[in-house]
Structure 1
Amino acid sequence: MKTIPTLSLALIGALSLSACQDKTAAPEDIRPVRYAVAGGNAETGGARYAGEIRARNETQLAFRVGGKVVAKLVNSGEHVKKGQPLARLDPSDYQLDLAAKQAQLAAAQSDLAQQQLNLKRYHELLAKQFISQAQVDAQQNGVNAAQAKANQARAVLDASRNQTGYATLTADADGVVSQMQAEPGLVVAAGQPVARLSQDGAREVAIQVPENALEAVRAASSLRVTLWKGGAPLPGKLRELAADADPATRTYPARIALPGDSHGLQLGMTADVALPAQASRQLSLPLTAILDLQGKHYVWVVDDKTLRVSRKAVEVGAIDSDNAAIASGVRAGDKIVTAGVHLLHEQQRVKLLGQ
C-alpha cells in the first residue's frame, strides 16, 4: 500500500482552504431599484372616457316614397338651410299618376256641373207641375253624389301632388349634412335613411359607459371635457344615459351636454370626458409596482434598516391608466419597489435609486 507524501497532503489542504475562502468572499448581488412611498397620493383620479363631439339634435333623413335617385344636390359636410333640396328621385311615375288624378278630378267636376244643370231644369219643370217632387229629390241625390265624387277626386289629386313633392328630399332645419348616402342610381325604399342632418345649436360629447361605472357617472355633479386639439377644459353635465346596453359593445351610450356657444367645436372632434377625482383612504401605487402571480397580486416592500425586500400580498381596488388603489396589504409610508419587480427574490438586498 502506497502512502501519500506529506507535501502532497499539505498542497491539497491549501487548495481546499483557498476554494472555501473564494466561495465565502463572493460579493452579494445588490440590485438597484426605483421605489415609491405608499400613500403618496391623497386622492384617486376619476375615470376617463373617450368620446366625440356631436350635435344635440341629429335627424336621419329619408325619402317618404320609394324610387331611384337621379340627383345628389349636396355633399357630406355642407351647411344647408331649412327647406333646401338635398337629393331628388326620378319623378316620372309620380308625374304620370298626378296627371291621371287631375283627369279624374276634371271628369268628376264635369259630371257635377251636368248634375247641377239637370237639377235646375227639374225645379223649373216642378214649378209647372210637369214632374213630381220625388223626381226632383232623386236628381238632388245625384247632385250630392257627384259633389262627393268631385271632393274625393280633389283629395286624391292632393295626395298625388304630395307624393310628387316627396320625390325631393329637403332639410328639416338649418344644419350640417354629416352623412350623405343618396348617390345617383341608388334605388331606395320609402323611409330608408339616406342622410343625417346635424342641426345647428348645442353640441354634446357622445361616450360609451361600461356597466361598472354607471352609478359613478350618474352621481357625478360635473364632468371635465378636454378636447384633443387642445385648449382649456370645458365643464360638462350628463344629459342622457341609455337604459339598455349597445348589443355590439355591451356599453351604455351617454350624452354629455356642453354649456355656452358651440363656436370652435367641429362635429367629430375627439374629446376626453373625466369624472371628478375622489378622495380615498386607499393607498395608491403605480401599476408597475404590482406583481401578478397565479391570479394573486403582490408588491415588494423595502426594509428601511436592512434594505432587503420582502414580498407581500395585496388587495387591489380601482385601477386607472397609471395607478392602482391598494385596499389592504401595505401601510402608508412603506417603500414599494416600482420597477423590475419580476427580477427580485425574497430578502434580496437592493439599492434605492429614488422615487
Structure 2
Amino acid sequence: MIKTPCFTQFNLISIMFLFLLAGCSESEVSTQKQNEPRAVKLITIGDESQSKTLTYPATIDTINSSKLAFQVSGKLETLNVIAAQNVKKGDVIAVLEQRNFINEVKSSKIQFETADNDYQRGLKLAKDGVISQRDIEQLKSKKEVAESQYDSAQKALSDSKIIAPYDAIVAEVPVKQLENISAGQHVVTLFGKGEMEAVVNIPASIVATVDSKQNNVASVILQDVSTPPIPATFRRANLEADSASQTYEVRFAFAVPNNLNILPGMNASLKLTREASSASTRLLVPTFAIFEQNGEHFVWTVDAQTMQASKTPVTIENGIGEQLIVTDGLSAGDVIVGAGANYVTEGMKVRPWTKA
C-alpha cells in the first residue's frame, strides 16, 4: 500500500517563516536603495565678471595695402624701387617715358590759348555788332573743347608717375624697366608701415557672451619672437559667421615697434583679457540646470557638507542659448545640479556622477 506524503504542522510553520524572512529582506533592500545618494552632474558656478584671459591663434595682416598702377600706357622709363625697400609718402616710385606726355600738354595748351583768345576777341566784336550771338556760341564751344583737352593732357602727364601714397614697404615689383606698360597694369604692391592687424577667428559661444560694457584688453604676441606683448585695439569684425567653423573674423590693430620688422602672413597669438566689472556680477548657468515653476526660475543648489539638494530661486536676464546670465540668487563658487535635475527633490542627498 502506497502512502501519500502530507505536510505536518511543523513543516507549515517553517515555510511561513521563510516567506517572512524573504519579505523583510526585500523591504530592507528597497529602503537601502532609497537612502542612497542619487548620482547627478554637479556644476561649480564661476564669476564671469572677474578677469578672464583667452588666447587665440592670429595671422598678421596690413591695414594699408595697395596695388599701384599707371592710369595711362607707355614705356617704363624709371623704376626707383625693388622688393623689401622702404619708401616715404611722396617718393617717386616709377615714371613712364615723358616725351609724348609733355608734347601733348604743350600742344593742347597752345590750342586752348588760341581758342580762348578767339573767344575773348569775339566778345568784343559782338558788342560792336560785327558778329552774331551764334558765332559767339561757336567760339565758346571751341574754347571749352580745347580747355578739356588741355586738362586731359595735364592729367595724363600727372598719371605717368606713380607716387607713394603713404610710408610703406615695397612688397612686390612684377615689372621691369623699359617694359611697355598698359593702363591699369599692376606695377608695384605696397604694405603700409606704422600700424598692422592681428586677424583672429573667435567662436560664436564667446561672441555671444561678450559684454560691450566690459573693458576688454587685447595684446599681440609674435610667434618665435622674444618681445613683450604688443598692445592692440579692436578695429572691426565680420558679423557673418563662417558656415563651417561657426567662428567670426575679428581684427585688432596694433602699432609696430620700431625695432621689429613685422610682415603680413606672420603667425602670432592674440591674448584677450576681459577685465573685472564692478557694476554687476555675471554668473553663467547652463540652461538645462534652470527649471521654471509658477512663472519663477529655480536651480538645485547642493550643500558641500551634507550633499543635500535645496531648491533655490534665481533671477535671470532675458536671452537664448546654451547658457543664461543669473543676476540674483547665486554666488560664485556655489555648486548646483546640472544633468539629472529633473529627478531631484527637496532635501535629497546627491553625489557627483562619474563616468563608469
TM-score when scaled to structure 2? 0.49
TM-score when scaled to structure 1? 0.49
